[in-house]
A = this chain, B = another copy of it.
Amino acid sequence: MAIPVETFFLSPDAQGTLQAQIQQMVAEGILSGRFQRGEQLPSTRALAKHLGVSRITVTLSYTELQSNDYLTSRGRSGFYVSDNAPEPPSFKTPARKKDTVEWARAIGQRFTGGVTLRKPADWARYRYPFIYGQTDPTLFDHANWRLCAVKALGARDFSALTTDYYDQDDPDLIEFIARHTLPRRGIIANPDEILVTMGAQNALWLTTQILLTPRRAAAIEMPCYPALRDILTQSRCRLAPVAVDAHGLPPDDVPDGVDVIFTTPSHHCPTSVTMPLERRHALLDRARALDALIVEDDYEFETAFLAPPSPALKSLDTDGRVIYAGSFSKSLFPGLRLGYLVGSAEFIREARALRASVLRHPPGHMQRTAAYFLRLGHYDALIKRSARALNTRRQVMETELKRHGLQIAGQSPHGGSSIWVALPEGTDAILLAERLASRDVLIEPGQPFFFGAETPINFCRLGYSSIPSERIPEGIKRIADALR
């Protein structure tokens, strides 16, 4: 790669001759690792013009650097960083002045310190990855995604790619969501009741900013998605954790004074249990009695391979009380960052204004590509293909867990992509996970999903969306072995 002329500046405060200054800039670039071996320097003519110095000054600097082995000359094609140039130091930071800013004081609000669920970045290199929510390259329809993306890069979609939507969304994607995605969940919504978000995470974040303040209270499920807990903690609202049972959130346990109830009725996170219809009605009744709103995170409804999914809680809502968050990042791939928020127009209007302030809009190209992928039926085909694979894997999971005497503590009656496992009393799932990682097995400890003093240590989530079924038996065997 050629080193652009624009990276050179003469400092008005610099010491020494012009020639020395130029030599120093080049040497510093090489020593700091910015200019790398074999890279071409600007021509003497170009650099002289850019810096407003005579060409001979630049030539003399380059020649001097050449005799010091920083540069080599390749005849007419110019000067290059020499293969014998001094190595940049292997430690990362060149010695620099320390900030005089006192950051502890300058930072007005802190956001670090939350729980980040982080899988090893190299999870795909593990042979037995029981991890959750990542893309299985053997299932994802990369070829058709690419075709849709290329279509969305065409001249016809130039505007969808480049345009500044301000606070608006791709109308094609909104139309598909309104006409096809939501009706599958029993939800009828107008375009002004839908907002495209940067994944479900962003949907939950926007909702929290609008509905919660330090004077309000939110009920969350316990255990619960840790990122949601962090979002709510940052909003400084009061938090009322409600323990879930085998049917999800028990409505009667939602305490008085709660303003917003966060729930995952389709598949509870992380146990995967599903809330039955009667309880959904009871939860709506409880919310009505409290005059509370409900935020429904309807994730993973697409993985219903054993039975049709129950309609969303939102579809039963005649009050406008339910705000619905859906995601394409789960069912397609997490790097997509596309989800949607559905609620009354009054609410969506505020969410739209906040989103505009925070980031304007999700990139048009990602929206249009998703719209094509959905509209051409690739999404449905993908869901069906995944469902078949997940179905097989789940059967193997159940058989093998049983064989090794491991106890299933939660799973979805419709399907899902993970099983919640209760390890033997006293087992610390975090320690177990560490031990297993060295044996090529990844599991997800349950601790981060709990909070407060009574965190049980012996739960883990075993995802099967990224492990081929033929590897499951050996993987489960290794877990059982490690437990002994």
Q: Which A residues are within 8 Å of any B CB, using their own CB?
A: 1-2, 4, 6-7, 9, 12, 29, 32, 34, 50, 92-93, 97-101, 103, 106-114, 116-119, 121, 124, 133-135, 137, 140, 142, 145-146, 149-150, 153, 155, 158-168, 178-180, 183-184, 186, 188, 190, 198-199, 201-202, 205, 209-213, 215-216, 227, 230-231, 234, 259, 277, 288, 293, 308, 311, 315, 318-321, 333-337, 344, 346-347, 349-350, 353-354, 356-366, 375, 377, 380
Contacts and interface: CB of A to CB of B under 8 A. Distances in A.
B335 A134 contact: no
Contacts of A117: 166
Given A101-B320, A142-B158, 9 more contacts: A99-B319, A108-B216, A112-B353, A162-B334, A163-B334, A201-B358, A205-B359, A363-B363, A365-B366
B100 A319 contact: yes
Nearest to A180: B4
Nearest to A6: B184
A286 B196 CA distance: 43
How many chain copies does the complex carry? 2
A185 B324 CA distance: 45
A161 B335 contact: yes
Closest 4 CB pairs of A and B: A99-B320, A164-B334, A162-B333, A198-B359
Nearest to A288: B100
A46 to B, nearest CB: 12
A35 B213 CA distance: 41
Contacts of A178: 34
Contact of A114 (B100, B201, B353, B364): B353
Contacts of A165: 335
Nearest to A102: B291
Contacts of A9: 186, 311, 315
A450 B456 CA distance: 56
30 contacts: A4-B184, A7-B180, A34-B178, A98-B320, A99-B319, A100-B288, A101-B344, A103-B344, A107-B346, A108-B210, A110-B350, A110-B353, A116-B166, A116-B167, A116-B356, A121-B168, A134-B163, A140-B162, A142-B155, A149-B365, A161-B333, A163-B333, A164-B334, A198-B359, A201-B357, A201-B358, A202-B359, A205-B358, A362-B363, A366-B366
Contacts of A150: 146, 149-150, 153
Given A107-B211, A357-B111, A92 B190 contact: yes
Contact of A6 (B100, B110, B308): B308
Contact of A209 (B109, B133, B134): B109
A12 B310 CA distance: 12
A359 B357 contact: no
A113 B352 CA distance: 12
A244 to B, nearest CB: 23
A375 B1 contact: yes
A393 B222 CA distance: 62
Contact of A359 (B112, B118, B199, B319): B199
Nearest to A278: B12
Given A212-B108, A380-B4, A358 B358 contact: yes
A135 B162 contact: yes
Given A133-B164, A164-B134, A198 B109 contact: no
B357 A114 contact: yes
A365 B335 contact: yes
A260 to B, nearest CB: 9
Nearest to A293: B106
Contacts of A111: 209-210, 350, 353-354, 357
A150 B184 CA distance: 32
A350 B158 CA distance: 36
Nearest to A32: B188
B336 A363 contact: yes
B335 A164 contact: yes
Given A7-B183, A164-B119, A319-B100, A201 B347 contact: no
Contacts of A319: 99-101
A360 B231 CA distance: 12
A373 to B, nearest CB: 13
Given A358-B205, A360-B198, A211 B32 contact: no
Contacts of A364: 335
B34 A179 contact: yes
Contact of A357 (B137, B227, B259, B365): B227
Contacts of A133: 164
Contacts of A212: 108
